[in-house]
Every structure is written in C-alpha cells, then in structure tokens.
Amino acid sequence: MAGTAASRSVHPGSGRRKTRDTPKGRQVEPQALAEVEALLGDRPRRADLLIEHLHLLQDHFGCLHVRHLTALANLMRLALVEVYEVASFYAHFDIVMDGEPAPPAVTIRVCDSLSCALAGADKLLGALKSSLEPGIRVVRAPCMGGCHQAPMAAIGHALHPHATVESVAAEALAGHTHPHVPAYPDLDAYRAGGGYELLSELLDGRRSIEDVIKTMEDSGLRGLGGAGFPTGRKWRFVRAEPAPRLMAVNGDEGEPGTFKDRHYLETDPHRFLEGMLIGALAVEAEEVYIYLRDEYPQCREILLREIPKVEAAGLARRTRIHLRRGAGAYICGEESAMLESIEGKRGLPRHKPPFPSQVGLFGRPTLINNVETLFWVREIVEKGPEWFGSHGRNGRKGLRTFSVSGRVHEPGVKLAPAGITVRELIDEYCGGMEEGHTFKGYLPGGASGGILPASMADIPLDFGTLESHGSFIGSAAVVVLSDKDNMRDVALNLMKFFEDESCGQCTPCRIGTEKAVMIMERPTWDEELLNELTRVMTDASICGLGQAAMNPVKQVMKHFREDFAGLAPAVAAEEPTPGKPARY
C-alpha cells in the first residue's frame, strides 16, 4: 500500500492526492485505427514512408483528420508530434482539428507565380472565388510547371492550362479532377528504337562502367538542376566512397519558370529511366529513389505504369527503384532538403559539409542527379562526347534546354546551343515578342537567377557567363518581360514566393524574406535597409533560397529605376559575392 500511495501524484499545497483517470496525451480512437489500418494494408510501417502514408490519408479522406494522424502515429510507432510536424510542413496536406469542418470535396489551385501573374492569374483567382459555389474551394498556389501555358490552374490533381473562369468552372463542376496523361512512347516503343541497348551492354559486361564515366567526363555535361557540377566527376567521386551507396533523382523542379523536366518525363520517360539506371550502375547503387514533385501527377502516373515494366524485363535487376511523392514544398528541390523528405521528415536543408556524396540518404554516400541530366546520358554515350561538345555558340559548348515563358510569341521548351543569347533565343526559337510588347528585361535562371535589362540581352546564356553580372543560369528558366510590365511588381511577386517557400529553419531567410516583402509593399523602398538585408541573407542563410532571394530585388533597383515613382536616391552598397545555390 505504501508503494501505491507513493506512486500517486500530489498537487503542491492541495493537501490531497490526485490520481489520473486516463493516460496522458491524445488517445487512439478504435474506429480511426481500423480505418487507417485498412488503408495501409500490408504496406511497411517504416518512418521513411510517413509522407507516402500521409498522401494515402489525404487522397482517401480529402484531408488529414487529427484522429487519423493519431492512429497513424500509433501504427508507425512514432510520436504524434513527429507526424504532426511533418504533415503541417507541406502545403498539400490539409490538417483538420476536432470540431473543424473538412475542406470541400474539390479544390482549385490557381498559380500566382510570375509567368501566370503576367497572364492575369490574380483576376482569375478573384473571379473564381466570387463565381463558384461554396462546395468548391479556390486557393492560390505557387508555380505548377505550366508557365508556358499560363495562367495555370489545378482542379484536384488535374492540371488545367490556359485557364479561364468558364473552362475551370466547367471542369470542376463536371468532376474532372484526375490527371490527364499525355501520349508517350512506352517500353516497347522505346526499345524498338534501340532503347536499353546501352544499359544491357553494361549489365552483361559488354561495355565497362569506366568507359561510360570517362565519356561523361569528356562530354563536359554539367548538372542541369541548377548547380552545374560536372556529372562525370560527380559519378567518380561517389563511386570512390565506401559501399553501400545510394542514388536519388531530383524531380522537384519548383523554380518558377521551369518545366523542362516535366517535358522530358511526358515525352520520353524511358530515356530518363535508362540514364538513371546507368548512373546507378556507375556508382554501384543498389537502390535509387526518384523524388517527384506533387504538382506533376501525370508524370507520376507515367512512372507508375512504366517502372514495373522495366523491372519485369529484368532491366533493373541490380537496382531497386523507389518512387517518392513530394507534397508541395519548393525547398525540397535543394538536394539535402530532398533527402530529408525522402527519409519521411520535414524538408529542412542540412548543413554542409559533409556533402551528400559522402553522407547522404540514410547516412550513406549518395549520387544525386537531376531528371534532365540523366535524360542526356544515353545520347552522349552512344554519340560520343565530341557530339555533345560540337554544339554551342559564343565560345560555349553543349546543348541547353531552356524553359521559356512570359511575353514571347511561342513559349515552351526550347533545345538550343549553350551560349545562345536571350535575344537570339527570342528571335530564333520563340517567334519573337508577343504582339504589342517590346522587350524590356528577362530572368535568365528563374526566380533566384536575377533580372537583367534588354540592354544586356547579348550575354551568352551558360554556366559561368552571368555570375559577374549578379545573375546565374540555374535551371535555364527564362522569363521574358516587356514594356507592359512594372519591374517593381515583378520583384515583389518573386519575393512573396520566397517568403512563402522559406522553410523557416534559419533566421536570416525566415525573417529576411518577410521583412523584404513588408518594405517592398510600401510606396517608397528603403534601399539602405534592403541592401543590408541582401548582405545578411546572402552571407548567413543556410541554403541557396535565402542566399539568392534578394537577387531580383537588387537588380531591379540597379537596372530599372524608372519603374519607381518617387524612389529615394540610390544608396551605395557593397556588392555581395554571388553564391552558387542549387536549384529548388
């Protein structure tokens, strides 16, 4: 009895014992547990599958009820706070607390990133909100990879290009919420054109891995996700690390203005898959993880159809393929944040060093390549490094895939020589400027690549050519602007994007982007304070989001002062050293 009495809690000063009638914390509801168990079926309960399981709940119930999160935490042997912090980090998960109504059955997302904003996304968003019935939710959303089809909307999981109030309303009311999968060459069609012959030669020992790595090194191909690290050299570095090694594919192209990876996945998915499997063989990775952004459900459907065919054909007999689904977080395009997300966590960038090639996914040496980088592997190896190097202009070598949007007559994916200028790109590949528009400026590398004026339209577009001007090519997302666009508004649109997408881990980025938006919304900008923010964010942010977020702002102040009414005189500021951020 004494032991029992001692185990009871005593409220200080109350003079009486108090016992707890129920266990601590939120309790698992039997019905919710049964529902989650039935939905998971025989799927593993590993922690790295948390985001995949959250998608199952979101897709099935239309939201994430707290009772289901509690049951999921119990089944996965995770603390509820671990599940909740991950679910609340990603934009595509809707958490519903006890007593709160579930969201409507249909959600329409309207992209408000730069290219769509130029095409009238704000008016579209307002008109949809005021015209649709209460049973349909209309929300703003960041870039969906449809910049060339602006304005872009998503109805449920279905992308809707060139959206209008009438077309979106009709599709939503008709219940057309599933992704449209375009026609593409399947496994049989790809093999009929010589596909997987190179991979088969490597699997059978008829060609050496060393030969392939050497060819990639000689070609000069650099990472096409944005950072531009030489591909062959990266393969060799990872191969030299102790086994076991892994591979991760970055398919999270969330940089506003970028849609080239989507294009290649939709038009020739097996060319990418073959390059991926060759890369995995090159570093002897027994497992490869494809991380695909959630805004590309049609690409995910293609891969879900074709990967099992590749496996059944014995083409992946040395490599196990995992397909992982993002959940609406631009930051997960940063390579280390992507690794965290694949592991089932919040997408918070890691401090470097160590680099992923040494300590990457699950703590193992990891090869990380972008979708487009892997797309070129087969062609470069088959045709030789000289073929790739034979292309180029203005002293540059190779090919570049440009995602072109904005005020051009023919936006879209443009395969052009490395080193082409934006003026040549507009005139030769895009049919010139849109009618009634005069070329004023351009983004050479997406939201974080800066903004340059038309007077600087003859700079070769390639790695290493733009950095001295405070810009970089990144993922080659070119957004063309005209005399109809106010650059002050353009910079504010981009900064609001960075504010929304900051992961919040480091203070310079989290507070800096918020402070910058507040300053930029005022009638007159405080240039001295903006310059100070630029220095702090560039020097002290953990990853490239914060380091590059102020690029458009400082360049608008430098090159487009005519767009500011009553702007205070410029304040001289030390130019921060341009960083080399990865693509997001």
What is the Cα–Cα distance from 13 to 28, expressed in whole angstroms? 34
Within a domain: 281: yes
Using an 8 Å Cβ cutoff, are 346 and 111 in contact?
A: no
User: Hey, what are 126's tokens?
Assistant: 């307002």
pLDDT in tens, 132-182: 877 899 999 999 999 999 999 999 989 999 999 999 999 998 888 899 999
Residues 222 and 315 in one domain: yes
For residues 258 and 367, membership in a common domain is answered with: yes
The whole-number average pLDDT for the span 538-551 is 94
- pLDDT of the residue at 565: 61
Decide if 353 is inside a domain: yes
- 303 with 213, same domain? yes
Work out the average pLDDT over 523-533. Answer: 93
Same domain as 341, residue 210: yes
Q: Give the model confidence (pLDDT) of 197-251 as tens digits.
A: 999 999 999 999 999 999 999 999 999 988 889 999 999 999 999 999 999 999 9
Residue 579: per-residue pLDDT: 42
Q: Look over the chain and give the mean of its residue pLDDT values, rounded to a whole number.
A: 92
pLDDT at residue number 8: 44
Residue 113's domain comprises 106-174
2 in a structural domain = no
Provide the pLDDT confidence category of residue 19 given band limits of 50, 70 and 90. Answer: low
Closest listed residue to residue 198, CA positions, set 384, 393, 453: 384
Is residue 574 over pLDDT 70?
A: no
CATH, residue 494:
1.20.1440.230
Last residue of a domain, one of 127, 146, 174: 174
Distance CA 52, CA 41 (A): 13
Q: What tens digit of pLDDT does each residue of 468-477 get? A: 999 999 999 9
The residue with tokens 């109030």 is: 165
Specify whether 502 is located in the same domain as 539. Answer: yes
Q: What percent of the chain shows pLDDT beyond 90? A: 88
Q: In this structure, is residue 574 part of a structural domain?
A: no
Tens-place pLDDT, residues 314-330: 999 999 999 999 999 99
* For residue 582, pLDDT beyond 60: no
Q: Angle 420-422-424 (CA atoms, 0-180°, nearest 5)? A: 65
% helix, strand, coil for the chain, step of 5: 45, 15, 40
What's the whole-number mean pLDDT along residues 260-281?
98
Q: Radius of gyration (Cα) for the chain, nearest Å?
A: 25
Q: In 3D, which of 496, 397, 501, 487 has the Cα closest to residue 442?
A: 487
**What pLDDT, in 10s, does the model give residues 83-110?**
999 999 999 999 999 889 999 989 999 9
Integer Cα distance of 552 and 532 in angstroms: 15
Return the number of other C-beta atoms located less than 10 Å from residue 533's C-beta: 22
For residue 388, tell me if it sits in a domain.
Answer: no
Domain boundary among 457, 481, 505: 481
Where are the extended beta strands (E) located within 86-221?
Answer: 95-96, 106-111, 136-141, 153-155, 158-160
Whether 324 and 412 map to the same domain: the answer is: no
The pLDDT value given to residue 580:
38
pLDDT surpassing 50 at residue 523:
yes
23-39: average pLDDT = 93
Cis peptide before 353 (omega within 30 of 0): yes
Which pLDDT does position 226 carry in this prediction?
A: 81
Mean pLDDT of 37-41: 98
Residue 20: pLDDT band with limits 50, 70, 90: low
Residue that terminates a domain, selected from 433, 461, 481: 481
Name the pLDDT band for 515 (thresholds 50, 70, 90): very high
Tell me, what's the pLDDT at 24? 79
Task: Report if residue 101 sits inside a domain.
Answer: no
What's the total number of domains in the chain? 5
6 domain residue, yes or no = no
Whether the predicted pLDDT of 188 surpasses 50: yes
For residue 18, pLDDT over 70 is answered with no
Is residue 510's pLDDT more than 50? yes
Same domain for 238 and 324: yes
The answer on 366 and 263 residing in a single domain is yes
Residues 300 and 378 in one domain: yes
- Claim to verify: residue 170 and residue 191 sit in the same structural domain: no
What single-letter DSSP state applies at residue 21?
Answer: S
What's the confidence (pLDDT) of residue 157? 87
Q: What is the DSSP secondary-structure string of 529-570?
A: HHHHHHHHHHHH-SSHHHHHTTHHHHHHHHH-GGG-TTPPPP
Q: What is the pLDDT of residue 570?
A: 47
Within 8 A by CB and 6+ apart from 303, the residues are 265, 269, 273, 290, 292, 323
| 137 and 238 share one domain | no
295: domain CATH number is 3.40.50.11540
On whether residue 330 sits in a domain, the answer given is: yes
412-455 per-position pLDDT tens digit? 999 999 999 999 999 999 999 999 999 999 999 999 999 999 99
Instruction: Tell me: pLDDT of 581 over 50.
Output: no
Same domain, 246 and 342: yes
| Residue 399, strand partner residues | 417
**Where residue 23 falls among pLDDT bands split at 50, 70, 90?**
confident
